[in-house]
Structure 1
Amino acid sequence: MIKHSALYEKLQKQYLQNWTICSEQFPVSGKRFSYFEKRIWEMKFDRFLHVIKKEANNEHPDKNRLLQQVQSFFREALNYSNEHLHFIFSDDMLCATKSFIQKAWEFDSNLGNEELFQALRNVWIMLGLQSFFGKKIQITPSFLAYSLLYPYTDNLIDDASISKIEKLEFSERFAARLSGKQVHAQSVLEEKIYDLVKMIEGEYERQEFPQVYESLLAIHEAQTQSLTLVNNKELISDTECMKICIEKGASSVIADGYLVLGDLSAKQFHFLFEYGAYLQILDDLQDARQDYLDDIKTCFSSNLPYGDLDKMLCKTYSLGKKFHQTLQDLYPNEIAFQGLIKRSFGLLFIASVFENKDDFSSEFIQKIEKHAPFRFSFLQEHQKELKPFKDLMMQKMEEYRDKEFVKI
């Protein structure tokens, strides 16, 4: 990222400093829910689950009714405002999501649902950025290509049948291709990866939009560097782990921004840096246990053998407040987006503790449960009942495999 390289280094240094000084104390502020309030929210949740199970048992489930129920649940049970829901469930967002699914399967009919879900996480971030920056919400060729690149490259890197030397050689070839060089693909999968790069080149001409390709090289370099965290017996400090985490997250969302806008101002770059870095930190927090089992070293997974993650979550929460303040300073008029980020991050913290209870002290779990709209015992009892909802989502996705896309 040559254009904003000095700003990048400044932001990275400041972000590492902020992480170091973030409070490890449990926050005293924040809404608490009484037992009576929790029971009201749980009754709403019960009604929502009843609709899901009913539709799942129908031979021809009413997908539109299900969508309406999901929106009602977000509004009434999770207290999202209409402005928040517009970011998530607007017709443009839903049409773009359906369009991506269809275009992805047109590109590769062998893509699995899990791979599509992985790609959709980035698609939704990019669509959100389109909305945030006032652009038309749509799936562009570069959206499709960039969002599919990492399921493909992840599959190649994770393939146990491919040696480490072969993976490093692929990494070098991929970097060369991103630089604009002609590279001979060594496999069908690698050829698809280069086809996706060509798709981006068809939308963004290299001479006119050099920063687009600098950003793609930056995320590739960060992804490659993150491989040092896998099965590495050398001692890597928490600071170095956090630095790699920040680079991976920031470079990914900065690339999203360049593919949305073509070029970025310093203010836009600053926002995207912190947004991406924080999203990656949240991912690492949620994945701490699985990363530990997979021998992937992060700030969170490396602390599991020495105790719980109570203080680490508090630091993450404190860092999130700093990001929210940055968002307010940079974009003071984007009240709806600020509220959506704050509410969504809050639910992610609660979910992180609920889904990984063994990684937190019982005292900490009791404290954070007071800030949750549901009792953890209630969520535990109903966890399996959400499976029909995922099954319906999978079924809905399958409808667009061989079906002409029709705008809702």
Structure 2
Amino acid sequence: MTFHSDLRNRIQNEYTAQWMNCPDHFPESKRQFSYLEKRIWEIKFNHFLRLIKKEFKLHHPNKTKILDRSKAFFEENLAYPHEQLTMIFSAEMLNATKDFIRKAWTFDSELSQIEIFQALRNVWVMLGLQSFFGKEIKITASLLAYSLLYPYTDNLIDTPTISKNEKLDFCDRFALRLNGKHVDAKSSIESRIFDLVAMIESEFERKTHPELFESLLAIHHAQTQSLKLVSTKTELSEDERFQICIEKGATSVIADGFLVMGHLDEKQYHFLYEYGAYLQILDDLQDARDDYEEGIMTYFSKNISQSQLDHLLCKTYYMGKSFYQNIEKWYPNELSFKDLIQRSFSFLLLASVYQNQADFSDVFVQNIEKHAPFRFSFLQKKKVELDPLRHYLLEKVEAYKAKEFAH
């Protein structure tokens, strides 16, 4: 067992024990929004939306104006500090995002917009890590390849028309390829997946970066283990379901870290483990209803009753609080990054309740809404109004694709 495998097992055990000991009562919070404060926020948000919608309807929308108005809204109305906005809206971040989209469609012009946006979630994590660790913000071959790997593999594993045996057969072949073995692809999708592994190999040599490739095997193993969540034959304990959750998230972000840094020390590894594990907890909490209806029994969807999700969201809150304290301890000079992800994760917690109100008790929903800057009824109305804006955005993305690949 390598040093990092042993370290990951130790952190996993500590993290699981910490989760089990987290309080499950509603957190005490001083910050609540009065009805008047909510109405002021909603008026400002409506004004911002009108300006953005007007700009998007133009044949040639002014991208700079949209960006400037978005930045001003975040700073003036959502109270984001200037240094955090610099991280979000920097020219390097925006240029890297466009570069990724262009390179992704160059690699595979058949990638859908949904798959592109799915990959962008990981791209933004990796770009954030580049910034956090003082690296140049750019799309490397390995960043492109790794971010595309999991739309391909996730979608293959999630396809209902492919049998479980076929999926397991693919997982075995993919593991061999990640181990550096020659494997013949059995489909065009597999061929693309193996090409992406080759792109990572073009940037990092296996002999000098064995732990990097071990991290890719670790996330693959975690993905394979997650197949147990859809099995009717496998009886899993609560601990096992939780560990599948955190391992899937932790191994993914650890792999991000290796691809950004090449090598990781123990502090970096521990930070990335907790970062990825907590992201996955938030993701599984938010997707609990969808997973339940699709027969995916995650730690959260398995407990999808009002009283259970009330308690689990509270534990999630306290787990996040511990993570933020660890960042302050490990990286005392990076508090802007800590505050940014804390703010982002707080919005995700609110979204988990807002989007799945039937899965929480009425009293819990009312308590959560007191801490939200908008009324939930207002958000529901905006969700309907934003659909046309989403279509405008997708049309602009399609126009960008047509322009970039016209020749």
TM-score (structure 1 length as normaliser)? 0.96
Counterpart contact for 2:141–2:203, Cα < 8 Å: yes
Per-residue deviation, 1:337:
0.5
Q: State the alpha-carbon separation in 2 of the partners of residues 154 and 12 from structure 1.
A: 23
Aligned twin of 2:357: 357
AA matched with 1:276 = G
Aligned twin of 2:203: 203
Q: How does 1:16-31 map onto structure 2 within 5 Å?
A: 16-31=16-31
Per-residue deviation, 1:314:
0.2
Aligned twin of 2:189: 189
Aligned twin of 2:59: 59
CA RMSD across the alignment:
1.5
After superposing the two structures, state which structure 1 stretch, 224-233 or 49-58, moved more: 49-58
Q: State the alpha-carbon separation in 1 of the partners of residues 404 and 112 from structure 2.
A: 19
CA offsets 1:360-394 (integer angstroms, 9 cap, x no match)? 11111111111111111111222111223323432
**Aligned residue pair count:** 405
Per-residue deviation, 1:305:
4.6
Counterpart contact for 1:3–1:211, Cα < 8 Å: no
Counterpart contact for 1:96–1:138, Cα < 8 Å: yes
Q: Which has the higher contact order (CA 8 A, sep 6+)?
A: 1
Aligned twin of 1:332: 332
CA offsets 1:128-172 (integer angstroms, 9 cap, x no match)? 000000000000000000000011112211223322211111111
Alpha-carbon distance change, 22 to 199 in structure 1, aligned in 2, over 3 angstroms: same
Counterpart contact for 1:113–1:394, Cα < 8 Å: yes
Q: State the alpha-carbon separation in 1 of the partners of residues 114 and 293 from structure 2.
A: 21
Q: State the alpha-carbon separation in 2 of the partners of residues 341 and 328 from structure 1.
A: 12
Q: State the alpha-carbon separation in 2 of the partners of residues 341 and 127 from structure 1.
A: 14
Aligned twin of 1:101: 101
Per-residue deviation, 1:399:
4.0
Q: State the alpha-carbon separation in 2 of the partners of residues 156 and 184 from structure 1.
A: 17
Counterpart contact for 1:288–1:301, Cα < 8 Å: yes
- Secondary structure, in 3 states, of the residue corresponding to 1:401? helix
Q: State the alpha-carbon separation in 2 of the partners of residues 5 and 231 from structure 1.
A: 27
AA matched with 2:230 = V
Q: State the alpha-carbon separation in 2 of the partners of residues 319 and 11 from structure 1.
A: 14
Alpha-carbon distance change, 211 to 234 in structure 1, aligned in 2, over 3 angstroms: closer
1:311 aligns with 2:311: yes
Q: State the alpha-carbon separation in 1 of the partners of residues 306 and 388 from structure 2.
A: 38
- Secondary structure, in 3 states, of the residue corresponding to 2:56? helix
Q: State the alpha-carbon separation in 1 of the partners of residues 388 and 84 from structure 2.
A: 25
Counterpart contact for 2:100–2:144, Cα < 8 Å: yes
Counterpart contact for 1:173–1:183, Cα < 8 Å: yes
Q: State the alpha-carbon separation in 1 of the partners of residues 280 and 87 from structure 2.
A: 21
Q: How does 1:231-246 map onto structure 2 within 5 Å?
A: 231-246=231-246
Aligned twin of 1:322: 322
1:341 aligns with 2:338: no
1:297 aligns with 2:326: no
- Secondary structure, in 3 states, of the residue corresponding to 1:310? helix
- Secondary structure, in 3 states, of the residue corresponding to 1:4? helix
Aligned twin of 1:3: 3
After superposing the two structures, state which structure 1 stretch, 217-226 or 393-402, moved more: 393-402
Q: How does 1:164-179 map onto structure 2 within 5 Å?
A: 164-179=164-179
Counterpart contact for 1:218–1:251, Cα < 8 Å: yes
Alpha-carbon distance change, 307 to 24 in structure 1, aligned in 2, over 3 angstroms: closer
- Secondary structure, in 3 states, of the residue corresponding to 1:136? coil
Per-residue deviation, 1:19:
0.5
AA matched with 1:322 = S
Per-residue deviation, 1:404:
4.9
Counterpart contact for 2:4–2:211, Cα < 8 Å: no
Per-residue deviation, 1:54:
1.4
Consecutive unaligned residues of structure 2, counting only runs of 5 or more, are none
After superposing the two structures, state which structure 1 stretch, 53-62 or 267-276, moved more: 53-62
Counterpart contact for 2:249–2:280, Cα < 8 Å: yes
Per-residue deviation, 1:6:
2.4
Aligned twin of 1:285: 285
After superposing the two structures, state which structure 1 stretch, 233-242 or 294-303, moved more: 233-242
Aligned twin of 1:379: 379
Consecutive unaligned residues of structure 1, counting only runs of 5 or more, are none
Aligned twin of 2:150: 150
Aligned twin of 1:112: 112
TM-score (structure 2 length as normaliser)? 0.96
